[in-house]
Structures are given as structure tokens and as C-alpha cells.
Chains A and B, each alone.
Chain A
């Protein structure tokens, strides 16, 4: 088999994963794109290991380690995503702005999420309760003008 085929497939798969990481907004979908990138790296490792006929099977053994590391990464990543969802009520990565820097170097604005950052988790349902109210508020004048 020509070595170009697996190498080009790995490159294209990696670039698809790169697009997904940059373009996706849901954090779980970002984790899926990271999985695609890791799978592309695994394909490269296996192809080059079969090409060089390594006596120690370095590429394939490292692919095994990479698969196990991907499993650990997805577990930790999903735990963090679930914690963020429980605290903030959203998993959109561009709405999590509590740690962003402003242009003048001042303190960051906390408009990225609900202001109960360091409160107890018993108020975790607050963003869930706020979301229907905020969605219902613009609807109310329209209902008033209808009759």
C-alpha cells in the first residue's frame, strides 16, 4: 500500500477535527472534535509503525496508550462540562467569560454568567428558573397588542 493514502487520510481527518474545535460552540461537540483529532494521530502512528516494521512495535503500543489517554481525557472533560452546566446552566463555550481580560487590563466583567460564582450549589437551579422568565418577557408585550 502506498504510504500516502493513510497519511493523507490522517491529515484530512485532523483538519476536520481542527475545524470542529474552532467552530463548535457546545462543549460536548468540541470534545467530539478533539476525539477526531486524536484518532487521526493514531492512524498516523499505526501507518508509520507498519511501514518501518519496528521490532518493538513502538507506534502501535503508543496508539494503545493514546486510546487509554483519550478515554481518561473524555471522562475528565465531561465531568468538567457537567460541573459547568450545573453551575452556569449552559455549555456554550463563548458564554463563559468570567476569566476574560478586558482591553484596559482592569478587572474582568462578570457578565458572562450568573453572579453566584462562589455560592453553594443549592442555587444551581437558578439559571434554569431564570431562562423561561427571560424568554417570556419579550413575548408579553406582543400578547398584549394582539387583542
Chain B
């Protein structure tokens, strides 16, 4: 963000090349349209009283975000988003909803009593941050002509410069897996296998 950075120089050049804020390009129009879909799905996700519908609205929001990543030429991130978020995280959330016996229809107690306070806090944060962001990046453009974030370049930098955090992350995922198994197994002496204990408890909950 310093004025001497090359990105700022290209941004000012593009600014001098005749781009204006009120004449959006095609990519910007598509970005705004998909962004409206993402925001609407997110709002429905946090306000819907039907719990399974909330999870499905989350699918729409995260899928729209993958489209936004594609528009920003970050294609590898987009496919990872589709695979991991839509493929595993939402399925885990649906399993969580079913295992906690979420009601199928409308549940009247999905929201707590401090809903007005939450609305005030969220609106205040939104107004403050939007004002700040628009004021800070008013004259900044992203150059999307050359794709930045292709899989080969990203993989090269990931396995050349970010190998140590990558390995640390794999150890963390292993620790999270072991921790989830330890948390969710029952403490009974006769349940030798955790899967047997879980299925037994799932039957008990039914």
C-alpha cells in the first residue's frame, strides 16, 4: 500500500488510462451480480428458521464465493473451495444437524434473545468497515489481464517456499483428527472401538 510499490504504480497508470468508478467492466458487473447472490444466501443462512435450509443456503453462499475466486483468476483456490467447503464442511454440518436431532420444520428457538443487540453490532461494524474500505481503496484497480493463481505457479511456490508451514499444517490436521476421535468416543470400558461406541450412542439417541 505504500506509494512506491509497483502495484500502486500500475493502478495509477490504469487510472490515468481512463477507467472510472461508475463505468464498470464486464467482470465487475458479473462480480456484483454474483456478490448479491452470495450476500442474499448468507443473510438467509443466518436468519432462516429451518435449520437444514440454513445449511443449504450456506452451500449457495460458498459456491458463489468459488465463482468470485474464478473471477479474480484464482482458479486453484476456487476448486479447493468447492472440494473442501462444499464437499466436506457442509456435509459435516448436515451430519451435525442430524445427530443433534434438528427439527425438520420451523424451529422457533433458533435465535436467542439478544437478536436486536446482534443486529445493532453487525450494522455498526458494517457501516464503519465499508466507509473505511471505500475511502481507503477508492483509486485502486486490480489488473486481471494476466492470471495470478494458476495451479502450476501456486504449487511451485507452495512446495518451494511454504513447505514448512504445509508440513506443520498436516501435523495439525492429524492432531485434530485424533482429538475429534478422543472427544467423541464414549468413556465406557466395554466399548473397545470408538466407531462401535458412536453407533451405539446414535441408536440410543433415536
Contact = CB atoms under 8 A, between A and B. Distances in A.
Given A61-B154, A64-B80, A20 B72 contact: no
A22 B118 contact: yes
A83 B157 CA distance: 40
Contacts of B100: 26-28, 81-82, 85, 91
Nearest to A5: B31
Given A31-B96, A65-B165, A86-B205, A20 B46 contact: yes
Chain A facing B: main interface SS: helix
Contact of B169 (A6, A65, A78): A65
Contact of A124 (B73, B149, B169, B201): B201
Chain B residues touching A, range: 35 or more
Interface string A112-136: 0000000011101100100000000
Contact of A46 (B72, B179, B187): B72
B121 A22 contact: yes
Contact of B74 (A46, A56, A79): A46
A23 B111 contact: yes
B65 to A, nearest CB: 5
A7 B35 CA distance: 11
A110 interface: no
Contact of A2 (B122, B140, B173): B140
Interface string A54-98: 011100110111011111111110111111011000011110000
A92 B101 CA distance: 12
Interface in B152-206: 153-154, 157-158, 161-162, 165-166, 169, 172-173, 176-177, 179-180, 183-184, 186-188, 201, 204-205
Interface residues of A, number: 78
Contact of A17 (B42, B102, B112): B42
B93 A31 contact: yes
A68 B84 contact: yes
Contacts of B4: none
B178 to A, nearest CB: 10
Contact of A28 (B61, B97, B148, B172): B97
Nearest to A63: B77
28 contacts: A1-B31, A5-B31, A6-B142, A14-B125, A15-B129, A19-B46, A26-B100, A28-B96, A36-B58, A42-B65, A46-B69, A47-B142, A50-B149, A51-B142, A57-B148, A65-B165, A68-B84, A69-B172, A71-B88, A74-B92, A81-B96, A82-B184, A85-B99, A86-B201, A92-B109, A93-B112, A121-B187, A121-B201
